[in-house]
Every structure is written in structure tokens, then in C-alpha cells.
Amino acid sequence: MTTPGSATFPDGFLWGAATASHQVEGGNVANHYWEWEHASDTPFAEPSGDAVDHYHRWREDLDLLAGAGLTAYRFSLEWSRIEPEEGEFSRAALDHYRRMLDGCRDRGLAPLLTLNHFTTPRWFHADGGWLSERAGDRFARFVELALPVAQQAAYVVTLNEPNLAACLPVLAQMAARGEPVAGLPRPDQPLSEALIAAHRRAMEVLDGAGSPPAGLALVGQEWIAEPGPDGESADEAMVSHRAAMEDQFLSATSGDGFVGMQVYSCARIGPDGPVASPDAPMTQAHVEYRPQALGASARRVSEVVPDLPIVITENGLATDDDAERRVFTEEALRGLHAAVAEGADVRGYIHWSLLDNFEWFAGYGPKFGLIAVDRSTFVRTTKPSLAWLGEVARRNGLS
Ligand code: BGC
């Protein structure tokens, strides 16, 4: 239980850091992002290449994580390594991830396993991706294949941020045109529904096998209605945007074991859609600096789905200034603690990210890591924020 006035988190609270396969492994040549990164009209600043070679260096990375005092690691399976061609499965790739799960347990780290973090095999994407009529069957077959690995996890995330993935078609067009993004656009509705259906198929497989608690990881935001220039109310627009972006996905969690929330900033919605605040400080990832968004999101989600445990599966800051990362994270955690004290059932905090990594369209520019990586030698250098978060974990809270 939390003690009023203190910033101690509930007993057994997990403290960890996260990565995702394509952003850290390197050489993921069989997925559709690799193809997209190399297309002539690519919106990517640079290709992922060797990333930070986590595929080979994961032991060293887990040593640093556990050595600092953290108690959990979230990472994802790379479907394109496990099923590089439809129906052709790689036992070696599955064994690799099984060894990583064992490696977590050996170091006292609770593994949180994401089955799909945005990237899909080229063959899947080429045949309609998530919008194909066969997507559900294909994903369910992959989940079945991954079951022996998934069964060893502490938590299983089926899909990473389907509510952001459903915005990607629009975001990619905007990026290709060089248009500034004021905030996340309204997600594409058919894609949202297809992703929700795929999640349900995955849950059938996981539930049927008696899996560890499983669910979605959603991008969460602090929702702010911004009146128009003549004072017109934006309340209705905000509620409608939030319903498409958040509520329809929260409704799809019924029967799940938990929900993962990944919170970086706020969404300001004006009468005509997302708007940027002209005076707000921005981060390296071009989102508003808004540490208080974490507590606000946890509070709201716990009101919408009161019976579902929440794990914060991502939160962090893109910055070259590691001292700023610590300040941001501490303020975010204070907000989260307040939400927990008010009754939000939050079971853990997983920082994004363990390592500086491939930040999608922005390439290797934005620095989210608790550990820096020299990309020509792959030498890892821990940042002070890693030791600080480890201390928070040891104390199970803030001093
Ligand atoms: C994603 C990560 C990403 C992070 C920071 C989340 O939307 O799950 O893959 O790197 O945010 O932008």
C-alpha cells in the first residue's frame, strides 16, 4: 500500500526499461520497415542498419539493467525473424528469444514480452498487412508458435500501440510532405478495427493456453480541450478525438489481464482537431514537454477501466541532456504516485528506453536511452539516469 505523503509505490511494483526488436536488434532485413526505410520516397531520416546490435549484445545490456537495480525488462519478438516467409518458421530465432527470457529470469528481471511492436514480415505486409482478411489467422498462428516463449513472461503485450499504428498511414504522408505534426491525427478507423480484431484473436490463443496476464499496450495522453480563437468550445471535438484514439481501444480490453499505457505527452484538441501550444517547450521527439501527462493518463484510464490493472509500459524523454531526463522522470513519477494514491491500480513503471536507439522516422537523432551506444563500436556507456532509476527501484519510490 502507498503511505499518504510519501512517494512509495505498492509492494511488488515493477521497475524496468524497454526496447523493441527493430529499434535495437539490427539487420531486420525481412520486415516491411526495412523495405520502407530503403524506398525512394521514404519518410525515414536514415535506415536502421545494425541498430545497436542488441541481437548479439543483449546479455551485456541485461547485466547493466539488472546491475543498476531494476527489476523488469520489456522487449519484443521480431515476427519477421521467426516467420521470414509465410509458414516457414525459424526454430533458431525462437530459441534466441527463449534464451533472452531465461536471461531475464537468471538476473532477477521480470520479462514483459511484446508479441508485435509495429514491424511485420514483408510477406504479411505485401498481402494487405493488418487489413487483409487473413491477418487474424496469420497473427493467431504466430502467437501459437510463440506460446512456449510467451508462457515464460511475467506479462504479455499482444500489440504495441495499435492506436498509434492506426495513425501511421496519415503520419507517413505528412512526414513525406515535410508537414509539421501538431499532435496525433485521428486514427484510421478500418485499421483500428482490424488491429482490435487481431488483438482479440491473439487473446483467444493466449487465454486458451493459460498465459500470464496479457493485453494491449496503448499510447496514452493527457487530454486538453483548447478553445478556438474566438473562444469556441473544443470539448466536443476533444471527446470525439479521444473516443477514436483511446476509448475504442480501452473498450477492446474487456477480459484482458492488464492494460499497458505508454505516455509521453498531452494531446491538445481545438474545435477542428489537434493543435500545438505556441509557447510550450518541445522535446527532441517534437512532442510537448509534459511530465504531468503520465499521472493524468493513469488516472483517467483507471476511471474508464477500473477493474483492469495498469502497467506503465513506456514513459520517457528524448533529450541530449541526461539531467533533464531525470527531472522529467521524477516529475512524471510523482504524478503517477498521486494517481496510485487516489486508487489507480498501477503495477509497474517501464522506462523508454534502455538504450539510445532507432527512433523510427527520426532515425538515430533523438536520444531516449538510459544507456548511450557508440554506433561505430557498439560500446555502451551508462548515463547517470540509469543509476538514479535503479535507486528509485531499490527504494520502491522517490525520496
Ligand atoms: C513507441 C516506441 C517509440 C517511443 C518514442 C512509442 O510510441 O512504442 O517504439 O520509440 O514511443 O517515440
CATH number for the domain that contains residue 138:
3.20.20.80
pLDDT band, residue 5 (cuts 50/70/90): low
Would residue 114 count as lying in a domain? yes
Place of cell 495498469: 310
The percentage of residues in the chain with a pLDDT greater than 70, rounded to a whole number, is 98
Placement of cell 480501452 in the chain: 250
List CB contacts of 308: < 8 A, sequence separation 6 or more: 215, 253, 256, 258, 259, 345
Is residue 265's pLDDT more than 60?
Answer: yes
Distance of CA 82 from the midpoint of ligand 1 (Å): 22
List pLDDT tens digits, range 307-332. 999 999 999 999 999 999 999 999 99
Tens of pLDDT, residue by residue over 181-201, are: 788 999 999 999 999 999 999
Does residue 22 fall inside a structural domain? yes
User: Which of 117, 360, 367, 370 maximizes ligand 1 atoms within 8 Å of its Cβ, making it the mutation to test the pocket?
Assistant: 360
Q: Write out pLDDT tens, residues 302-311.
A: 999 999 999 9
Q: What is the pLDDT of residue 316?
A: 98
Q: Place 3 in a pLDDT band, splitting at 50, 70 and 90.
A: very low
- Mean pLDDT over residues 226-236, rounded? 97
Residue 174 has pLDDT above 50, yes or no: yes
* pLDDT value for 4: 43
Predicted local confidence at residue 53, as pLDDT:
98
Instruction: State the DSSP code for 361.
Output: G
Three-point CA angle 197, 28, 214, nearest 5°:
35
**Could you tell me if residue 4 is inside a domain?**
no
Residue 270's pLDDT band (cuts 50, 70, 90): very high
Tell me how far the alpha carbon of residue 66 lies from the centroid of ligand 1, in angstroms. 22
Q: Would you call 331 helix, strand, or coil by DSSP?
A: helix
Is residue 92 in some structural domain? yes
| Residue 15, strand partner residues | 349
Tell whether 5 is covered by a domain.
no
Q: Is 287 in the pocket of ligand 1 (CB under 6 A)?
A: no
In a domain, 51, yes or no: yes
Q: Is the CB of 164 under 6 A from ligand 1?
A: yes
- pLDDT on residue 96: 98
Residues 373-395: tens digit of each pLDDT: 999 999 999 999 999 999 999 99
Q: What is the DSSP letter of 193?
A: H
2 found inside a domain? no
Q: Is 166 in the pocket of ligand 1 (CB under 6 A)?
A: no
Domain span at 53? 10-398
Residue 179 above 90 pLDDT? no
Q: Which of 160, 145, 154 is nearest to 212 (CA)?
A: 154
pLDDT at residue 177 in the model: 82
Residue among 76, 219, 221, 262 whose CB has most ligand 1 atoms within 8 A, to mutate: 262
Quote the pLDDT of residue 180: 73
Give the dihedral sign, CA 84/86/92/94.
positive
For the segment 61-116, what is each residue's pLDDT rounded down to a tens digit?
999 999 999 999 999 999 999 999 999 999 999 999 999 999 999 999 999 999 99
Burial class (CB in 10 A: 0-12, 13-18, 19+), 395: middle
pLDDT tens digit string along 129-163?
Answer: 999 999 999 999 999 999 999 999 999 999 999 99
Distance CA(12)–CA(302), nearest Å, equals 19
If one counts the domains in the chain, the total is: 1
82 falls within a domain:
yes
